[in-house]
């Protein structure tokens, strides 16, 4: 695997230690205690969680969230033997999620001045900063808006770090009654809980999907739809499995048509289903995704920024990304990138301003479904330095000054919301499609892009080395770099 690791926003949270108590009649040995740890406890598929909950109680655990629809409990316990003690009838599997939070993929935000953002024009399809949104003409946005700019009955869940509800391009776009925090695997619908605190990643993603056409700032792909903020990224920048499960379940139960997922659920680049510790996480997440799909939700996910061939998994030398990397070799396709490789999820790679694969974008024949603009700030100089305006311009929130603005980021975190926005237009123009039908329609209306010949590397002069970003594309009209092709907003509404 290419050793391009995701930027860690902050260190992992400190844990709380339990304390033993004296009992009447003299001092007794304190019960063994350990860190206050979160666990996923799974009942057998199709069974209720009643028996599992009883075993949790007997093992000195506390249920903090129950997802009976999929047989999953989120539990906290200081019992160091909890995994062993909880095993038995009614419990299929259990896994601690300690150390399984992964740092949110993030890149530098380059802010645009307020003066640039406030130069109001009379053309609703050309917001003041639209001229800097090279990504929008690439996907046919001006033509699409002349036909359909989205329907307010379509809700797109942004499972991310929160959305600024005070941003002038987003304030009217958010369905507050459908927004929540899922941190810790439990819901908190207070507006403050789902607003950003330490990262503007979710605010940037939200702007790409549905920034208002209101004479201010940028244009979103589907400004007529509604956004729901579903906060799954904690203040340290980590995404734990219980938060992701909560997010998918919230979307399922609150009438979302789509979710955008620009993150990984595990600090390992690949989550191995044949690993005893990782398998319960895979099971819980997949159950939640399947349940949401059955409830009418199409989930869209970013492919990742490691220039890794997801169709040929051999090794992983850079994981975990929240600790000391370990070498894992001789991997198989039982190891998956979550949620991108979960069945039923639309997986999106990234391209830059030329339409060619971004140097960092992961790829893979049979894995990538579609491609979309994600930015490529190094192709102009073959990797020597960045041209920041070749990133994606969208809405931002300065978490230090608590001010709204606009700025550039790049990554498959940015390409995913382009695909989600186009899918939202498709759902608006053709209501009633099932998630599978919507995914197929998104692919069939994409514009096919051919593989480049030979070894592809647009950044041979990058400081990390001349072959650090070598990649080889396989396939024909549908291929490992671009899947079915570039999403197209006009094609889905015409």
pLDDT in tens, 349-401: 999 999 999 999 999 999 999 999 999 999 999 999 999 999 999 999 999 99
**pLDDT tens per residue across span 10-58:** 222 222 222 222 223 333 334 568 889 999 999 999 999 999 999 999 9
**pLDDT tens per residue across span 256-306:** 999 999 988 866 778 888 888 788 989 999 999 999 999 999 999 999 999
Annotated catalytic residue, options 161, 164, 200, 201? 201
201 classed as catalytic: yes
- Candidates 300, 302, 159; CA nearest to 228 is 159
What is the SS3 assignment for 349?
strand
Confidence of residue 118 (pLDDT cuts 50, 70, 90): very low
The label of the residue with tokens 């996907």 reads 139
Q: Any residues with CB less than 8 A from the CB of 265 and at least 6 apart, and which?
A: 100, 102, 239, 241, 244, 271, 281, 285, 338, 339
Average pLDDT over residues 395-421: 96
**pLDDT tens per residue across span 317-329:** 777 766 777 788 8
Answer for the pair 374, 398: CB distance below 8 angstroms, yes or no: no
Q: Any idea where the domains of the chain sit in the sequence?
A: 37-97, 103-493
413 classed as catalytic: yes
Residue 238: what pLDDT? 83
Query: For the chain, what percent of residues have pLDDT higher than 90?
Result: 75
Class of domain 37-97: alpha beta
Distance CA 165, CA 475 (A): 43
Average pLDDT over residues 220-243: 93
Distance CA 189, CA 230 (A): 9
Pick from 13-22, 69-78, 158-167, 363-372: least confident: 13-22
241-253 and 279-294 are packed helices; what angle lies between their axes, rounded to 10 degrees? Answer: 10
Residue 324: what pLDDT? 77
For 103-493, CATH number? 3.40.50.200
169 classed as catalytic: no
- Domains 37-97 and 103-493 belong to one CATH topology: no
Annotated catalytic residue, options 106, 135, 160, 376? 160
Annotated catalytic residue, options 164, 293, 394, 413? 413
Residue 111: what pLDDT? 55
Residue 29: what pLDDT? 39
């Amino acid at each position: 695997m290419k050793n391009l690791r995701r930027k860690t926003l902050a260190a992992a949270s400190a844990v709380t230690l339990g304390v033993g108590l004296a009992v009447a009649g003299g001092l007794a040995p304190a019960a063994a205690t350990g860190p206050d740890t979160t666990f996923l406890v799974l009942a057998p598929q199709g069974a209720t969680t009643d028996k599992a909950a009883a075993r949790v109680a007997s093992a000195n655990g506390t249920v903090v969230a129950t997802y009976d629809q999929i047989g999953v409990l989120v539990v906290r316990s200081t019992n160091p033997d909890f995994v062993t003690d909880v095993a038995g009838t009614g419990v299929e599997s259990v896994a601690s999620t300690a150390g399984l939070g992964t740092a949110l993929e993030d890149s530098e935000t380059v802010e645009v001045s307020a003066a640039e953002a406030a130069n109001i024009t009379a053309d609703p399809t050309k917001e003041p900063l639209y001229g800097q949104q090279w990504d929008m003409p690439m996907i046919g946005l001006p033509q699409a808006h002349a036909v359909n700019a989205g329907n307010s009955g379509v809700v797109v869940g942004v499972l991310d770090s929160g959305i600024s509800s005070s941003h002038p391009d987003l304030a009217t776009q958010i369905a507050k009654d459908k927004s929540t925090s899922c941190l810790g695997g439990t819901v908190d619908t207070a507006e403050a809980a789902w607003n950003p605190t330490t990262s503007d990643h979710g605010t940037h993603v939200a702007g790409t999907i549905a920034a208002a056409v209101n004479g201010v700032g940028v244009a979103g792909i589907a400004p007529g739809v509604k956004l729901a903020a579903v906060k799954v990224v904690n203040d340290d920048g980590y995404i734990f499995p219980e938060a992701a499960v909560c997010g998918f379940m919230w979307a399922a139960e609150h009438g979302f048509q789509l979710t955008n997922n620009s993150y990984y659920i595990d600090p390992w680049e690949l989550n191995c289903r044949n690993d005893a510790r990782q398998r319960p996480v895979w099971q819980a997440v997949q159950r939640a995704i399947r349940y949401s799909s059955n409830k009418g939700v199409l989930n869209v996910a970013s492919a990742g920024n490691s220039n890794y061939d997801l169709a040929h998994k051999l090794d992983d030398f850079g994981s975990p990304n929240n600790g000391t990397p370990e070498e894992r070799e001789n991997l198989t396709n039982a190891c998956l990138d979550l949620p991108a490789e979960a069945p039923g999820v639309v997986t999106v790679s990234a391209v830059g301003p030329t339409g060619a694969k971004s140097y960092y974008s992961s790829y893979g024949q049979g894995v990538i479904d579609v491609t979309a603009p994600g930015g490529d700030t190094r192709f102009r100089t073959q990797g020597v330095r960045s041209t920041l305006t070749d990133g994606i311009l969208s809405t931002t929130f300065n978490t230090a000054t608590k001010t709204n603005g606009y700025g550039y980021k790049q990554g498959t975190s940015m390409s995913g919301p382009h695909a989600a926005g186009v899918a939202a237009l498709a759902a608006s123009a053709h209501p009633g499609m099932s998630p599978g039908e919507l995914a197929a329609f998104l692919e069939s209306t994409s514009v096919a892009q051919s593989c480049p010949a030979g070894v592809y590397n647009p950044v041979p002069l990058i400081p990390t080395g001349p072959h650090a970003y070598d990649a080889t594309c396989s396939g024909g009209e549908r291929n490992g770099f671009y899947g079915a092709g570039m999403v197209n907003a006009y094609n889905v509404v015409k």
